Amino acid sequence: MHLSTVLRSPLLDRAGEKLGCVEDLIVRLADGGYPPVTGLKGSIGGRELFVPIAKVAALEPGAVRLAGEKLSLGRFERRPGEVLLRQDVLGRKLVDVESEPPRLVTAQEIELACIEGWWRVVGLDASLAAQVRRALPRRLKGLVKDRPFLDWSDMEPFVGHVPTARLRFSHRKLANLHPAEIADLVEAASHDEGEEIIEAVRQDRDLEADVFEELDEHHRLEFIRERPDSQVAAVIARMAPDDAADLIGELDQERRVKIIKLLPPAHRRKIEALLGYNPSTAGGLMGVELVALGEQDTAAVGVERVRRSEIAPEALNVVFVCDAEDRLTGSLPVVALLRAAPDTAVIEIAEQEPVSVAPDADLPEVARMMTDYNLTALPVVDEEHRIIGVITVDDVLEQTLPAGWRRRYGLVSD
- The residues, any chain, with a CB within 8 Å of residue 8's CB and separated by 6 or more, are 21, 22, 23, 138
Residue 411: per-residue pLDDT: 62
Per-residue pLDDT of the chain (414 residues; tens, 9 = 90+): 999 989 999 998 888 889 899 999 999 876 567 889 999 998 988 888 888 888 888 888 888 998 876 666 667 788 777 889 998 888 888 888 888 888 888 889 999 999 988 899 999 998 888 888 888 877 777 777 777 888 888 887 654 445 443 334 446 677 788 899 999 989 888 888 888 888 888 888 899 999 999 998 889 999 998 899 999 999 999 999 999 999 998 899 999 999 999 999 999 999 999 999 998 899 999 999 999 999 999 999 999 999 999 888 878 999 999 999 999 999 999 999 999 999 999 999 999 989 999 999 999 999 999 999 999 999 999 999 999 999 999 889 888 776 666 555 556 555
Residues paired with residue 390 on neighbouring β-strands, in sequence order = 287, 379
Q: What angle do CA 187, 193, 199 make, to 5 degrees?
A: 95
Q: Strands 292-294, 318-322: parallel, antiparallel or unpaired by DSSP?
A: parallel
Q: Strands 47-52, 103-106: parallel, antiparallel or unpaired by DSSP?
A: unpaired
Q: What angle do CA 222, 227, 197 make, to 5 degrees?
A: 60
> Could you check whether 95-105+151-275 and 285-399 share the same CATH topology?
no
Q: Does domain 95-105+151-275 have CATH number 3.40.30.10?
A: no
Helices (H) and strands (E) in the chain, counts: 17, 20
Of the candidates 344, 307, 241, the one whose C-alpha atom is nearest the C-alpha of residue 319 is 307
Q: Where are the domains of the chain?
A: 1-94+106-150, 95-105+151-275, 285-399
Q: What is the DSSP string of 298-366?
A: BHHHHHHHHHH--S-GGG-SEEEEE-TT-BEEEEEEHHHHHHS-TTSBHHHHSEES---B-TT-BHHHH
Of the candidates 279, 276, 268, the one whose C-alpha atom is nearest the C-alpha of residue 398 is 279
Cα dist. 296→91, 301, 309, 334, 389 in Å?
Answer: 65, 10, 20, 17, 22
CA distance 219 to 407: 12
Q: Which fold has domain 1-94+106-150?
A: SH3 type barrels. (2.30.30)
CATH of 285-399, one of 3.90.220.20, 3.65.10.10, 3.10.580.10, 3.40.30.10: 3.10.580.10
Other Cβ atoms less than 10 A from the Cβ of 149: the count is 19
